[in-house]
Amino acid sequence: MNVIVNRSAARWLPSRHRFALAQLVAFARLRQGEPQDASGPDHLILHVDRDQSAAEAYAVAVWVFVTVAAYLAATLPMPLPLAIILAIPLASIVIHIPIVVGGPILRLILGENDHVKLVSVGTMSLLFVWSFYLSRGDSWARFVAWFFFAVLACNAIAAAILWLLRAAVQAEESRCAR
Amino acid sequence: MTQPSWWHRFAVRGVFWRQVLRFAILNVPPWLEPIVMASWSLFFLMWGTARRGVMRNLAVIKPGSLAIVNFFRCYRLFWNYAWTIADNVRFKEARTIPDWEFTGWKFFQEMQERDGGAILLTAHMGSYDLGAHLFAETSSRRIVMVRAPEADPETRAFEQDRAAEGVRIEFNTRSTDLAIDLLDVIREGNIVAIQGDRVTGEIGFLPATVFGKPTRVPAGPFALALAARVPIYPVFVVRLGRRRYRLMTARPIELVRSRDRDDDFRRAVEQWVEELEHVIRDRWSQWFTFEPYWPELAA
């Protein structure tokens, strides 16, 4: 088990985050340092796993959900308020499709663990294609699609910055984990 | 024995939903988890019996609360329950552990380091299973969990096949033999973990008053503590957020044998109820009691 004991600052280890943008924000917070909280827990065990960050998972989930719901609302042939109401449960079902369809098939082909990565990349790729299609149209959903690409661009820039700072990131991680 | 009908597996406590949960754990990318969790919590809000049970309990915990507000509180409880059972399956399938915070660390350490065994008394809150696994991985002592078996035979078999290593589970259905076994476990210096908030099936009970209303708590842990002459440590595992839990250990309950056994039990139960009420008041959204808790609510 890769764990860090009694170091609350380790919450901000970049290696506890998945996406580059979240890793960069975490790195900034880690460098900033965290004041000792006297009212904090008596003992703390933090697990180092790249999917450990709650803030990151919720932020990405909300972003993906709102994007899919907006695309569906823009596509449904009915008045917008009604389309938005219907798009919310529909978005939840649509997001399940790549998991339910792709998951078992990819698991058979690739085996355990690796298939989740491919489900993840596949889902994001489908969203990319859908966004690309809508971004070229003239419906209001193009703004949502542009925002989608803006987030992807920010993530790419963050990845480049992290690559340039990789030595500093590694040093900071080692210092915190020591 | 009659075979359950084929559709039983799709009932709310049926094995089908355990299989769906396992499928989700194995296939859902972590960044999509919150969407999946929110959707399924909403789906299970249609489970009328549990929803009504939770709402009745909430009306007692939060006197004067509006039914509509308790309906949304009920969703929050279902949401926490979904995350809790998912975290438990994720641990079993992928050994993914959450972050852990401890309060009452000195009592927890005392329980681990004392000579002789102890009883860990907890409630149907947070992740009882995950807490036991954490204990098994961090302690040199063996932990034996006592719990009620799954009502559905297929579900019980499914869970037994996937039980994690390091934790021994005993079911409270064979009470006489079990009491002797547990006494031996404690005398060997190990820990027995029991859920002490509600009475399930035909087990011995003690009267208690929780949130001002009469109810019953299991007698087993108190009788065992008196027989083994060990303290009872109230321990609660509460969920703080995604992949984040707190293990709270309270001051131990010392059962001192006197001439009046009923009085010994009464004092111990009062201390336990005080801890239980305190935790439930703060963490009502994690008290996973889906039936009316108080007999007068069930009537």
Q: What is the pLDDT of residues B170-179, one digit of tens each?
A: 776 666 678 8
Contacting residues of B for A62, CB less than 8 Å apart: 34
pLDDT at A158: 97
Contacting residues of B for A120, CB less than 8 Å apart: 29, 31-32
DSSP one-letter string for A50-75 = TT--HHHHHHHHHHHHHHHHHHHHHH
pLDDT at B209: 94
Shortest CB distance from A1 goes to which of B36, B97, B102? B97
Contacting residues of A for B104, CB less than 8 Å apart: 42
pLDDT level of residue A171 (50, 70, 90 thresholds): very high
pLDDT at A35: 64
CA-nearest of B196, B194, B189 to B111 is B189
pLDDT level of residue A14 (50, 70, 90 thresholds): very high
* Token pair belonging to B246: 């707190």
Whole-number Å distance between alpha carbons of B165 and B169 = 10
Q: Which residues of chain B have pLDDT under 70?
A: 1-4, 162-166, 172-176, 299
A65 in reach of chain B (CB within 8 A):
yes
pLDDT level of residue A124 (50, 70, 90 thresholds): very high
pLDDT tens for each residue of B6-46? 777 777 777 888 888 888 888 889 999 999 999 999 998 98
Whole-number Å distance between alpha carbons of B253 and B225 = 9
Contacting residues of A for B99, CB less than 8 Å apart: 11, 44-47, 52
DSSP state of A100: I
On whether the CB atoms of residues B258 and B288 are closer than 8 A, the answer is no
Is the CB of B31 less than 8 angstroms away from the CB of A18? Answer: yes
- Most B CBs within 10 Å, among A5, A18, A58, to test the B interface: A58
DSSP state of B258: -
If you measure CA to CA, which chain B residue comes closest to A123? B29
pLDDT at A37: 65
A112 in reach of chain B (CB within 8 A):
yes
Residue A136 pLDDT exceeds 60: yes
The domain spans of chain B are 6-298
Shortest CB distance from A52 goes to which of B31, B33, B243? B243
Give the whole-number percent of chain A exceeding pLDDT 90. 67
- Most B CBs within 10 Å, among A8, A49, A123, A125, to test the B interface: A49
pLDDT at A134: 94
Q: Which of A104-113, A156-165, B136-145, B211-220 has the highest mean pLDDT?
A: A156-165
Which residues contact residue A97 at a Cβ distance below 8 angstroms, ignoring those fewer than 6 apart?
Answer: none
pLDDT at B215: 93
CA of A44, closest CA in chain B: separation in Å?
5
pLDDT level of residue A168 (50, 70, 90 thresholds): very high
Mean pLDDT of chain A: 90
pTM: 0.89
Q: Indicate the burial class of B272 (C-beta count within 10 angstroms; 0-12, 13-18, 19 or more).
A: buried
Interface of B with A (CB under 8 A): 23-24, 26-36, 38-39, 95-106, 108, 137, 241-244, 246
pLDDT at B26: 83
Shortest CB distance from A57 goes to which of B31, B38, B98? B31
CB atoms within 10 A of CB A173: 18
